[in-house]
């Protein structure tokens, strides 16, 4: 699982790490994700879904 050489399932291109801006629940944040240089498909790591998005949800509730 620690293998960093992810490949796009569709084009078999090596994915490259790239800073991407996400917008979630009206909040935007930047996170480095793996992206296919050919088709632009982005791999969302589970820690982003669990970490950053949960963080945004907490901020919204904490008003
Ligand atoms: Zn691809």
Residues 3-59: pLDDT tens digits?
A: 557 889 899 999 999 898 989 899 898 888 899 999 998 887 787 778 888 888 888
The CA 32 to ligand 1 mean position distance, Å, reads: 17
What is the spatial distance between Cα 51 and Cα 10, in angstroms, rounded to a whole number?
A: 27
The CA 6 to ligand 1 mean position distance, Å, reads: 11
Residue 8 inside a domain? The answer is no
The CA 26 to ligand 1 mean position distance, Å, reads: 28
Find the domain containing 28 and state its range: 16-61
- Going by pLDDT thresholds of 50, 70 and 90, the confidence category of residue 63 is low
Residue 10 inside a domain? The answer is no
The CA 53 to ligand 1 mean position distance, Å, reads: 25
How many structural domains comprise the chain? Answer: 1
């Amino acid at each position: 699982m620690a293998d960093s050489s992810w490949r796009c399932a569709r084009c078999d291109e090596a994915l490259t790490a790239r800073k991407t801006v996400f917008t979630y629940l009206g909040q935007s944040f930047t996170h480095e994700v793996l992206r296919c240089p050919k088709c632009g498909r982005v791999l969302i790591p589970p820690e982003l879904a669990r970490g950053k998005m949960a963080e945004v949800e907490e901020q919204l509730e904490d008003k």
